[in-house]
Amino acid sequence: MINPVHRLMNFLTDQLWSIRLARLRWWQAWPLAVLRTLIVIGRDLADGQLNLRAMSLVYTTLLSLVPMLAVSFSVLKAFGVHNQVEPLLHEFLAPLGPKSVEIVEYVVGFVENMKVGVLGAIGIGFLIYTTIALMQKIETALNYTWHVKKLRPLSQRFSNYLSVILVGPVLVFTALGMTASIMGTDLVVTLSQIEPFGTLIQFVTKLVPYALVILAFTFIYVFIPNTRVHVSAAVVGGLVAGILWQTTGWVFAAFVVGSAKYTAIYSAFATLIMFMLWLYLTWLILLVGASIAFYVQFPNYLTLSRAELRLSSRVRERVALHIMQRVGRSHYESGPRWSGARLAEDLGLPMELVEPVLAMLEQEGLLVENCDEDEPVYLPGRPLDTTPVRDVLQAVRTAGETPSFSPDKLPDDPGVADVVRRLDEAAIRALDGETLKTLALGEAGTGKS
């Protein structure tokens, strides 16, 4: 008789990953997909990269927390809601128990004592730099979970980050104010005195903080990564992250209550250590939620071993042709411009696979990136009506070649040279007269140019 533990391990390491979920009904496939996601998330945590990036964000947060709050505080002060910052910090640090009061007092004291006029140009520059650095660090960490290696252009980073820092707090407090106003209307007060509406309104009131936390996570997952994130995937990640954050808060609060001995050991440093631990858990939960959103959008990455997807030369050639066709068609038909994220979404591929092909086409001058718009887009780098299609294939074939590693460095064998020559000549004959214009307008193979 097979040991039940061995049967379970065999299922988790073999049978679970061989099941084709597309052939199952949704209520059968959903639990298996959740189980796969849990195992993959556990593997990612065991790898240590998420932990390292969460710890890095803790350090950056400690450095930039006061400057970031100072910038937001100055904006909120203009709207007369700056006094609400302290209660919001108390809510965020509630799991620290009585220690949260001490931390909030220190932070708010630093913010209120910061005189922008006294800082000077260097001080104001450092203030803005530390604030932007935190946002950039968050984007880098989220880009890692989304397998994106390229940051936004500097100008776009600056404008987007400042928009979040300046406008984000205003929107948050506006939402809180609208919620409080709605709950205080005569209609709601009257309904609250009638059952079952009273119980229902009380239940909804308790859910509002959870909904705002989930909404905040969802917003971060949609806006921050330098790729196009489906709202449905971001909502799933935000929901899981929000539930994890609230649950972890309860557990951490219980831990703080029973940590009197740590206060005796670390003395005055105990509060700082607890604060750093809570920041670490918060950032780790944020990254776990981002990973879940990624796996929801790209289930092909749900494999037992870490999936390092690579395109074959044949697929890279087709992807390059698809990209040039879309960019060219948009050029001739004055359609919407194509960004890297939009191309990846249209091709059904993650940015991790599309970025190298775009780099190949840029390197050969077939595409140029225009960063003047809100989102960088790609435009033709050469005249489409005179650029042969074979230049696209040649760009893919020669990508990565250097003087040290080129065909000229290989042994000069007449047989091999003859085969390569005949292949090149056949490609030239097959694509004779085909330009990027004919490819873009769907006239390839008709002889038109």
Over residues 15-33, the pLDDT tens digits come to 888 888 878 887 888 888 8
Over residues 167-196, the pLDDT tens digits come to 666 666 666 566 666 656 666 667 677 777
pLDDT at 312: 85
Instruction: Name the residue type at position 412.
Output: D
Over residues 348-368, the pLDDT tens digits come to 888 888 989 999 999 999 999
User: Once rounded to an integer, what is the mean pLDDT over residues 270-276?
Assistant: 82
With a cut of 60, say whether residue 220 has pLDDT above it: yes
Counting every residue written for the chain, the total comes to 449
> Which stretches within 258-268 are classed as H helix?
260-266
Residue 39's closest CA among 251, 295, 298?
Answer: 295
CATH architecture of the region 313-440: Orthogonal Bundle (1.10)
Residue 361's closest CA among 380, 343, 344?
Answer: 380
pLDDT > 90 in the chain, percent = 26
SS3 call for 301: helix
Over residues 295-330, the pLDDT tens digits come to 998 888 888 776 666 788 889 999 999 999 999 999
For residue 378, what pLDDT band results from cuts at 50, 70 and 90? Answer: very high
With a cut of 60, say whether residue 247 has pLDDT above it: yes
SS3 call for 194: coil
Higher pLDDT residue, 47 or 124? 47
For residue 234, what pLDDT band results from cuts at 50, 70 and 90? Answer: very high
Provide the 10 A C-beta neighbour count for residue 14: 10
Q: Which two tokens stand for residue 167?
A: 């406008």
DSSP string, 4-18: HHHHHHHIIIIIHHH
Instruction: Name the residue type at position 332.
Output: Y
SS3 call for 435: strand
Residue 221's closest CA among 311, 138, 327?
Answer: 138
* Helix axis angle, 313-333 to 351-363, nearest 10°: 70
pLDDT at 1: 47
SS3 call for 368: strand
Strand-pairing partners, residue 380, are: 367
Average pLDDT, the chain: 81
DSSP state of 21: G
Over residues 81-137, the pLDDT tens digits come to 556 667 777 777 888 777 778 788 877 777 666 655 555 566 667 777 777 788 888
pLDDT > 70 in the chain, percent = 80
Provide the 10 A C-beta neighbour count for residue 122: 8
pLDDT at 304: 76
Q: Which two tokens stand for residue 245?
A: 């954050």
Q: How many helices and strands (H and E) does the chain possess?
A: 19, 3
User: Once rounded to an integer, what is the mean pLDDT over residues 278-305?
Assistant: 90
Radius of gyration of the chain measured on its C-alpha atoms: 28
pLDDT at 197: 66
pLDDT at 118: 54
Over residues 135-153, the pLDDT tens digits come to 888 999 999 999 888 888 7
* Helix axis angle, 154-183 to 49-79, nearest 10°: 60
**Cis amide prior to 196 (ω within 30 degrees):** yes
pLDDT at 380: 94
In our burial notation (b when 16+ CB lie closer than 10 A, e otherwise), range 276-301 reads bbbbbbbbbbbbbbbbbbbbbbbeeb
With a cut of 90, say whether residue 373 has pLDDT above it: no
**How far is residue 264 from each of residues 260, 269, 270, measured CA to CA in Å?**
7, 10, 8
**How far is residue 396 from each of residues 34, 273, 380, 405, measured CA to CA in Å?**
38, 52, 16, 16
For the chain, the structural domain boundaries read 4-45, 48-301, 313-440
Q: Indicate the range of 93-97, 261-265, 331-335, 385-389 predicted with least confidence.
A: 261-265
User: Once rounded to an integer, what is the mean pLDDT over residues 374-399?
Assistant: 89
With a cut of 80, say whether residue 217 has pLDDT above it: yes
pLDDT at 233: 94
Distance (Å, rounded) from C-alpha 96 to C-alpha 349? 43
pLDDT at 62: 84
pLDDT at 184: 63
